[in-house]
Chains A and B, each alone.
Chain A
Amino acid sequence: MELALQVFREFLTPQNVALSAIGVVSGIVVGAVPGLSVTMATALLVSMTYAWDTKPALAMMLGVYAGGVYGGSRSAILINIPGTPAAVATGFDGYPLAQQGESGMVIGVATVQSFIGGILGLTALVVAGPLISEFALKFAPRDYFLLVAMGLSLVSRLGAKSMPRALVAASGGVLVGLVGMDPVTGEGRFTFGLPLLIGGVHFIAVLIGLFGLSEVFYQLGRIGRGTAPQIQIPEVGRILPSWASVLRFLPLSLRTSVIGVMVGALPGTGGEIAALLAYDHAKRTVRKPTRPFGQGAIEGVVAPETANNAAIGGALIPMLTLGIPGDAVTAVLIGALFIHGLRPGPLLMVEMPDLFWFIAGSYAMANVFLLIFGLMAVRPFVKLVNVNKKILMPMIALISVVGTYAIQNNIYDVFWMIGFGVLGYFMKLGDYPVGPMVLGVILGPLADINFRRAIISVRGNVPAFLGELFTNPISLILTIMLLAAFIPKLPEGGILGWLRRLLRLGKREGA
């Protein structure tokens, strides 16, 4: 602890503090622009900071990391285009709230809750890092499969009015996600022999097309008919949530932060799954949300925003305790440590405890800046949405194209994005939700590869696979949770309720 204090003192140099602040601001911008990813920004910083000392470089990168994960919520709330996959769930209730003129308040809540999630994630890292990483290692491929399957099973219920339509959208997404080279055999799947399709469709291109460009088409169509309602957001209103409201949501924040830390600590799963599971958790456990979920429940913003920021602390756990990346950004950070001549691995914490504390300190500092800047720069953002749609929509279209091209400097991604923009437009016309489709694209391939890993591990022996689901403690708990996801919240909703209504409907028609 003495060492911690010493490191904190070392951290508090004007230079490090300034770099952390710059990092957070650029992170928020990068996160808010769809297509610009935190991973990319961090990678860019690696080459920019190559000649720097390690610690200032790390201070800045952690700032970008924290700011970026948070920034994704901005565009999700204001224009219903998640800046990052981890912010998809935030839009389910954040956007309806903004539509009701509460954007200032939602952004305030998202900021404070991101801060809370970040600090709780940090606490988990500092207090129980090694313990959590050992636990995460125990997750077998089948457990990952169960986790992802849980995520997939939730998709149909999230922020959608009609379950069958959500299911159709999600299944379509899964199919799109499976296009490309088979991860096991290397054969092309759904490629129709076209070399173009071998690389698959990048999920960010799908996300930008379905959320961004489709909205542009939709809105422009309405402007053309002269019926475009200009949403007038009357006042930004109160931004900083009251203590009472923070305290009111605190039990939920704590629970969803735990989800965030655990999912974040698992190598290969990150903020997007954490936010999704947290959102569903809120939906199942909160008895009286401020408004119904999907129509502007504040809890529906609190849960994913705490979880995706807590997932950063989670992802830092395997990175610092074992030298294993918890997500794509920590993979880049590990690369950065190597480039700076350090040896990220299980001994890093033992041999260089000061570095551990420095990273923890930088991340704490980044969270403070996140809170400050997040609450400061709300008004200009909200005003942006008040810009005339005839100007705003072409701007979004431009950002969509540029952002998509920026994913991997690949023009075909832009074509895909436009294609999915058209598809999303027709989905909107037909009242099909786009969120489940995006999540299907992300989760489908994860479910596929983890299931195949699991089944190949038992040499294709299905009884053995099923047996393991009930004999291994972790698998058992996840299996129970997965099955529980199919039990509806009575008296309505869920598959059973739907079936029941369907039967009733059938009976009436029969009679």
Chain B
Amino acid sequence: MHATTAHRLVRMFLVPALVIALAWGVAISPSGAQVYPERSITGIIQWGAGGTTDRVSRRITPLAERGLGQRIVLSNMTGATGAVGMQYVFDQRADGYTLLYAAENPTLYGVLDISPRNFDEFEPVSLMARSIPVVVVRSDSKLRYLTELIHLAKQQPGQVKAGSTGIGGVPFVVGAMMTAVSGVKFNPIPFDGDGPAIPALLGGHIDFHVSVLAAVAEHMRAGRMRALAVIDNVPSDVAPGVPALGQMMPEYRPYLPWGPFFGVWVKKGTPAPAIRRLVDSFRPAVAAEDTREFLDLIGAVPMNMAGDEAVRWVKNWQSVTAWLLHDAKATQKSPEVFGIPRPRR
């Protein structure tokens, strides 16, 4: 009888006490406190579902999760050219538990007066990939070479109908390049994105369009569109036989390679070990064979940059693009205001 009571007492108090003590010990042990990540991570994608940023992010993230040993829960937070999502990440603690999946747009928030946020307030975890822009026409177009397009635009200034996806969009910047180098002006027809611009090209409602390779590769393969040039220094495997702008016209070389890029950032101030852990998890994910195949499919080029290398790339991209837009009188504020140097020629 007595023994049973004691036994019960032991079960009632001692066992839970032991469990608590054990758990406490684990929690306060130094190794337990230092390990990042100890819970799931939130990934904010600054563009909508189905877009290229979204596709690249969702494809590569599961591979990076393997290295982290934790889930990265992705959600799209769109609005104001991606500034809403970036602001959200900026407002969170710099603890490595909120990642920003962004495209190139924040480099232009300043000059386009979209948002006070910029990449200087973030640390790059991985520049995952970049897209290659390509100049396309309908397959029954008379234009066969980019030089013919430029010639036509010189004969009829402001008349050749170009697809446009808004200020700072791919067609806009490539158009600004052509204005800066070849002195031509087009008639840009505004669209909400490649989504509606591509049917307009296929239906013959615009004369040409500049799009990322991913969006038009299948139409080229089906013989419905023809590419006049890829906006890069070297031709692409995804668009065999299409000349590279930089090879055809070396005067464009200072601007190249140019194109949208996609990456992962954390807020500045995130502990260095956490950043290192993230970088080390994303690097093999981007390098994976699976990823390469996927990027090939959407006509993108793997970059796999982190640290200083990534920062340099972003800075250079920013200076090229901001000044192109400024010279095309498309900026709200001069790049000088933000200390963006004019690119060296």
Q: Tell me, in angstroms, the Cα distance from A343 to B49 when the chains sit together.
A: 18
Contact B158–A459 (Cβ < 8 Å): yes
Contact B50–A43 (Cβ < 8 Å): yes
List B contacts of A198 (CB < 8 A).
80, 114
Q: What is the chain B residue whose CB lies nearest that of A180?
A: B80
List B contacts of A136 (CB < 8 A).
199
Cross-chain contact of B195 among A40, A51, A331, A410 (Cβ < 8 A): A331
> A310-336 toward B: CB 8 Å interface, digit per residue (1/0)?
000000001000111100100111111
> A335-373 toward B: CB 8 Å interface, digit per residue (1/0)?
110110101111110000000000000000000000000
Cross-chain contact of A338 among B188, B221, B297 (Cβ < 8 A): B297
Q: Which stretch (A137-145, A214-222, A248-256) binds chain B?
A: A137-145
Contact A325–B195 (Cβ < 8 Å): yes
Q: Tell me, in angstroms, the Cα distance from A198 to B82 when the chains sit together.
A: 12
Q: How many residues in A have their beta carbons less than 8 Å from beta carbons of B? A: 54
- Cβ of B59 < 8 Å from any Cβ of A? yes
Q: Which stretch (B200-208, B250-258, B259-267) binds chain A?
A: B200-208
- Cβ of A46 < 8 Å from any Cβ of B? yes
> A185-202 toward B: CB 8 Å interface, digit per residue (1/0)?
110000000010011000
Q: Which stretch (B123-131, B159-167, B301-309) binds chain A?
A: B159-167
Within 8 A of A (CB), among B55-86: 55, 58-59, 62, 74-80, 84
> A332-B49, A449-B190, A456-B190 in contact; A345/B218 too (CB < 8 A)?
yes
> B162-206 toward A: CB 8 Å interface, digit per residue (1/0)?
000011100000000000000000011111100110111011011
Contact A409–B77 (Cβ < 8 Å): yes
Q: What is the chain A residue whose CB lies nearest that of B158?
A: A459
Q: Tell me, in angstroms, the Cα distance from A448 to B204 when the chains sit together.
A: 21
> A481-493 toward B: CB 8 Å interface, digit per residue (1/0)?
0000000000000
Cross-chain contact of B297 among A46, A323, A341 (Cβ < 8 A): A341
Q: Tell me, in angstroms, the Cα distance from A140 to B114 when the chains sit together.
A: 31
> A409-B88, A457-B161 in contact; A339/B49 too (CB < 8 A)?
no
Contact B58–A267 (Cβ < 8 Å): no
List B contacts of A345 (CB < 8 A).
217-219, 221-222
> B205-237 toward A: CB 8 Å interface, digit per residue (1/0)?
110000000100111011010000000000000
- Cβ of B145 < 8 Å from any Cβ of A? no
Within 8 A of B (CB), among A28-84: 39-40, 42-43, 46-47, 50-51
Contact B221–A186 (Cβ < 8 Å): no
- Cβ of B320 < 8 Å from any Cβ of A? no
Name which of B199, B206, B294 has the most chain A CB atoms within 10 A of its CB: B199
> A408-B84, A457-B189 in contact; A50/B62 too (CB < 8 A)?
yes
A129 CB to closest chain B CB, in angstroms? 15
- Cβ of A184 < 8 Å from any Cβ of B? yes
Q: What is the chain B residue whose CB lies nearest that of A409?
A: B77
Q: What is the chain A residue whose CB lies nearest that of B330?
A: A186
Contact B50–A453 (Cβ < 8 Å): no
Cross-chain contact of B203 among A137, A328, A348 (Cβ < 8 A): A137
B127 CB to closest chain A CB, in angstroms? 20
Contact A324–B297 (Cβ < 8 Å): no
Q: Tell me, in angstroms, the Cα distance from A322 to B223 when the chains sit together.
A: 12
- Cβ of A268 < 8 Å from any Cβ of B? yes
> A137-B199, A183-B192, A324-B198 in contact; A338/B187 too (CB < 8 A)?
no
Cross-chain contact of A47 among B74, B188, B203 (Cβ < 8 A): B74
Cross-chain contact of B50 among A195, A331, A341 (Cβ < 8 A): A331
Contact B195–A268 (Cβ < 8 Å): yes
Q: Tell me, in angstroms, the Cα distance from A185 to B206 when the chains sit together.
A: 19
List B contacts of A428 (CB < 8 A).
none
List B contacts of A341 (CB < 8 A).
293-294, 297
B330 CB to closest chain A CB, in angstroms? 8
> B279-321 toward A: CB 8 Å interface, digit per residue (1/0)?
0000000000000011001100000000000000000000000
A316 CB to closest chain B CB, in angstroms? 15
Contact B218–A346 (Cβ < 8 Å): yes
Within 8 A of A (CB), among B31-67: 49-51, 54-55, 58-59, 62
Q: Tell me, in angstroms, the Cα distance from A67 to B140 when the chains sit together.
A: 41
A151 CB to closest chain B CB, in angstroms? 17
Within 8 A of B (CB), among A407-462: 408-410, 449, 452-453, 456-457, 459
Contact B74–A323 (Cβ < 8 Å): no
Q: List 13 A-B contacts (CB under 8 A).
A: A185-B167, A195-B115, A199-B80, A267-B195, A267-B196, A323-B219, A338-B294, A343-B221, A344-B218, A410-B79, A453-B191, A457-B161, A457-B205
Chain A residues at the B interface, C-beta cutoff of 8 Å = 39-40, 42-43, 46-47, 50-51, 136-141, 181, 183-186, 195, 198-199, 267-268, 318, 322-325, 328, 331-336, 338-339, 341, 343-348, 408-410, 449, 452-453, 456-457, 459
